[in-house]
Structure 1
Amino acid sequence: MQFNFNSTEPIYLQVADQIEEAIFTETFAEGEQIPSTTEISKEFHINPATVLKGMNILVDAQLIEKRRGVGMFVIAGAQQRIVEKRRDQFYTDYVKKLVAEAQKLHITQDELAKLIERGFSES
């Protein structure tokens, strides 16, 4: 995990983002225990309450669960929930804007599909 203490993004959101990314990339597998609030706070010199606030975002998103006296664990299906969330975000952030710009340029759906295919073949 890496945190940018000079960023305008609050540290607790960075904590949530970093753990979510680790779940997405299967660094933390489903059913696996993640580092504790204390471990993260000591290793990265972050207030434990800040770390907990970030973890609670993931608890609310049903990506991790608290097991009293044991720790935090990745919930089954967490990676798939992240994929679905990111696909929705991809649609909102990129596809809708791409289609809007294509329409302004009078690019048809078929032409746009060909451009996308070209992009895939050139990468």
Structure 2
Amino acid sequence: MQPHWDHRAPIYQQLADRLAARLLDGDIAEGDAMPSVRALSGQYLLNPLTVSRALAALGDAGLLENRRGLGLYVRPGARLHLRRTERERFLHDEWPQLRERLRRLDIAATDLTWEE
């Protein structure tokens, strides 16, 4: 199955976001090697340059480190760092909009559940 890409954001950023979500979920552990550019290109059906750019974005965010001759590895503390920055972004950017929409629709906290 081919992954779905949204036309509103650059594909490399969408891939970086997907890989970051895998880090948050623990699918890729701290200290582990990241899959190779070739492996990710095949898995997501993307140009290797796009994959390289996504990995560079994760490196620029302080989540990955390049070990010369070995590849890219998840930095120790990357998950906590990512959780903090994503939490801050959510509370600053997304939550106010979501709270306003809930208010408009007259949805109270008691109307919401955590279960699916």
Shorter-chain TM-score tier: 0.7 to 0.9
TM-score (norm 1): 0.73
Deviations 1:20-74 (A, max 9, x none): 0110001000001110111111333311111000000000000111112111111
- In the alignment, which residue of structure 2 is the partner of 1:29? 29
2:84 counterpart of 1:79: no
TM-score (norm 2): 0.77
2:89 counterpart of 1:89: yes
- In the alignment, which residue of structure 1 is the partner of 2:51? 51
CA gap of 1:121–1:58, structure 2 versus 1, over 3 A, is closer
CA gap of 1:122–1:33, structure 2 versus 1, over 3 A, is closer
CA gap of 1:59–1:122, structure 2 versus 1, over 3 A, is closer
Q: Contact between 1:41 and 1:48, CA under 8 Å: does it hold in 2? A: yes
Greater fraction of residues in helix: 1
Q: Which runs of 5+ in 2 are unaligned?
A: none
Measured in 2, the distance between the counterparts of 1:41 and 1:58 equals: 16
Q: Which runs of 5+ in 1 are unaligned?
A: 103-114
- In the alignment, which residue of structure 2 is the partner of 1:18? 18
Pick which of 38-47 and 25-34 moved more. Answer: 38-47
Shift in Å, 1:119: 5.5
Measured in 2, the distance between the counterparts of 1:80 and 1:90 equals: 15
Query: What percent identity do the matched residue pairs reach?
Result: 30
Number of corresponding residues:
108
CA gap of 1:29–1:10, structure 2 versus 1, over 3 A, is same
Measured in 1, the distance between the counterparts of 2:66 and 2:96 equals: 37
Measured in 1, the distance between the counterparts of 2:94 and 2:114 equals: 19
Between Structure 1 and Structure 2, whose CA radius of gyration is higher?
1
